[in-house]
Amino acid sequence: MTRSTRIVALAMSLGLAAAFAGAAPASAQAPKYGGHLNLMQREDLSQGFAVHETSTIATSFPSMPCFNNLVVFDQSKRAETVDNLVGELAEKWSWQDNYRNLVFFLRKDVKWHDGQPFTSKDVKFTFDMVREAPEAAAKLRINPRKDWYTNVEKIEAPDPYTVVFHLKRPQPGLLVMLASGYSPVYAAHVNPASYRTGCIGTGPFKLKEWRKGEFVDYVKNTDYFMKGRPYLDTLRYVVIKERGTRTAALQAGQLDVSFPGETTKTAAEQLKKAVPGLVITPVAQAVSDNIILNTKKPPFDNPKVRLAVSYAIDRRALISAVHQGGAVPGASQQPKPYGVWGLLEKDLLALPGYGKPADMKAHAKKLLAEAGITPQNPLRVEMSTRAIAMYVDLASFVINELKQVGIEATLKQVETAQWHPMATRGEYQIGANLTGLGVDEPDANYYENYACGSPRNYSQYCSEEVMKMIEQQSQELNPQKRLALVSALQKKVEADAARPLLDWRLDYFTVWPHVKGLVPHDNIYNFGRMADVWRDKQ
């Protein structure tokens, strides 16, 4: 080879090597140990770390580093499906007796933050307490998810590292519900009330300090059962109530991570413009906008009038007007590709509110006319909503839509403290509401929001047919058959229009580029474990 040929060959091979290096996946980067992260916390924790006594992201997200579940959704994967379940406190699990018994084989090397060993006793203690079993050793002061476990007959702990959930009937969905950020395991040797002020968990981080109204400090759990985790040394969740200030703090780099569900599309665009390096990942939140209608009192005891409301609201216009495009249409289960149970496109488009706006409104007027409501005899109602900007924006838009079909709604703002009592007691006519789902599981959704007598079924909707459908899909073991049943259920509840679903919100989750390994899920409640997150030193 001549000298020049050798040089060219060398250059080419170097070039190829460089090309290969550049083409290597980013995850080939080796995680670095150490470092600190500041995470945004939009308000102070509601009841400390008592996850089982709240259903708000303000508590569950900053509590996740402290706890472990039996099983959890793979934190590194965005989609939350049965296939993405990984064990935490459970090494292995298996369904037995045709999905009637769920057996967990627990890890033997787990210790609580105070040094006590973790055993099956803790699991039995926690879930007996949550399901309010007669033999439960403790009681929760507030228990929002009792309904998730109504099908559990008995929980057995035959030996220190085995737990068996005996169910009354098959329920494949139970495993998924146990993976939610809302299903951590409490310590049996600790008073559950103590979680309101502190946190004894098994998780990757130990609580160092909770300065009320200011921040929550975590420090690495060096005895964490997952060897080599966590990567980070410390975490701090910084409480900033003022919205402008916390956006500015994220932009200025004083916060590394945004709060789940906090960043709208427009805000994300603004952040990206100011700091082009920010990593923004649009994900679904598992939070929906919906309308609650009091089905027990006129005028919304009339299904035609309810349906008219659903027809009147142009879903796409709503997404554009209220969210500037930062939301997606869907029925009562989160739509594909964000959720696994979403309706097919063609079925969705057949639902009220999705067709041509003029046609939809005309149909609404027709339905109202059948109920005796005409432009000469308009319907006057009061639309209640929580006195929070998110809710008020939504309500204002809906009021505008309803006006166009002859329903005159006036806005009534209700303070947070009175919203749930008002809704539960049925002291309203129509309301604009947001609902967050702890997990993409029809059992959790329908038993909470649509089942007869459920405290969160604000519409007080009670249909025997729907109850049967809920029960049926809950026991269906064949995934395809179950999907079909859930689709039918979604169509049915939209047709009954007790709680018309408007859209599903998106979050434009934002992190600084040096934050690695934090993968947002299509659900704000379940990805905050922080064990795999590391900081790339600049």
358-417 residues in contact with another protein (CB under 8 A) are 387, 389, 392-393, 395-397, 400, 411, 413, 415-417
Instruction: Let me know if 331 is exposed, middle or buried by CB neighbors in 10 A (0-12, 13-18, 19+).
Output: buried
Instruction: Tell me which residues in 449-478 interact with another protein (CB under 8 A).
Output: 455-456
Question: Is residue 53 near another protein by the rule CB under 8 A?
Answer: yes
Site string for another protein, 262-281 (x = CB under 8 A): --x-xx-xx--xxx------
Question: Is residue 315 near another protein by the rule CB under 8 A?
Answer: no
| ∠ Cα 88 94 98 (to 5°) | 145
Instruction: Tell me which residues in 94-153 interact with another protein (CB under 8 A).
Output: 141-144
Q: Distance between terminal CA atoms of the chain?
A: 44
Residues in the chain: 538
Q: Which stretch binds another protein (CB under 8 A): 10-18, 53-61, 97-105, 503-511?
A: 53-61
228 or 453, CB closer to another protein? 453
Site string for another protein, 332-361 (x = CB under 8 A): ------------------------------
82 or 411, CB closer to another protein? 411
Cis peptide before 337 (omega within 30 of 0): yes
Instruction: Tell me which residues in 235-264 interact with another protein (CB under 8 A).
Output: 236, 238, 240-249, 251-255, 264
Cis peptide before 170 (omega within 30 of 0): no
Q: Is 45 helix (H, G, I), strand (E, B) or coil?
A: coil
Cβ neighbours, 10 Å, residue 335: 22
Strand ranges (E), 272-391: 279-293, 327-328, 379-386
Query: Alpha helix (H) ranges present in 192-260?
Result: 243-251
Please name which of 333, 314, 365, 364 lies closest in space to residue 80, comparing C-alpha atoms: 333
Indicate which single residue of 215, 225, 259, 428 sits in contact with another protein (rule: CB under 8 A). 215
Count of chain residues binding another protein (CB under 8 A): 73
Q: Which stretch binds another protein (CB under 8 A): 15-23, 45-53, 288-296, 528-536?
A: 45-53
Q: Is 215 helix (H, G, I), strand (E, B) or coil?
A: strand
Q: Is 164 helix (H, G, I), strand (E, B) or coil?
A: strand
In whole angstroms, how large is the CA radius of gyration of the chain? 25
Sequence-distant (≥ 6) Cβ neighbours of residue 146 within 8 angstroms: 130, 131, 132
Site string for another protein, 59-78 (x = CB under 8 A): x-------------------
User: CB of 12: closest distance to another protein in angstroms?
Assistant: 43
Indicate which single residue of 29, 377, 418, 478 sits in contact with another protein (rule: CB under 8 A). 418
Instruction: Tell me which residues in 425-454 interact with another protein (CB under 8 A).
Output: 425
419 or 504, CB closer to another protein? 419
User: CB of 238: closest distance to another protein in angstroms?
Assistant: 6
- Which residue's entry shows tokens 């040797």? 189
Instruction: Tell me which residues in 182-201 interact with another protein (CB under 8 A).
Output: 193, 196-197
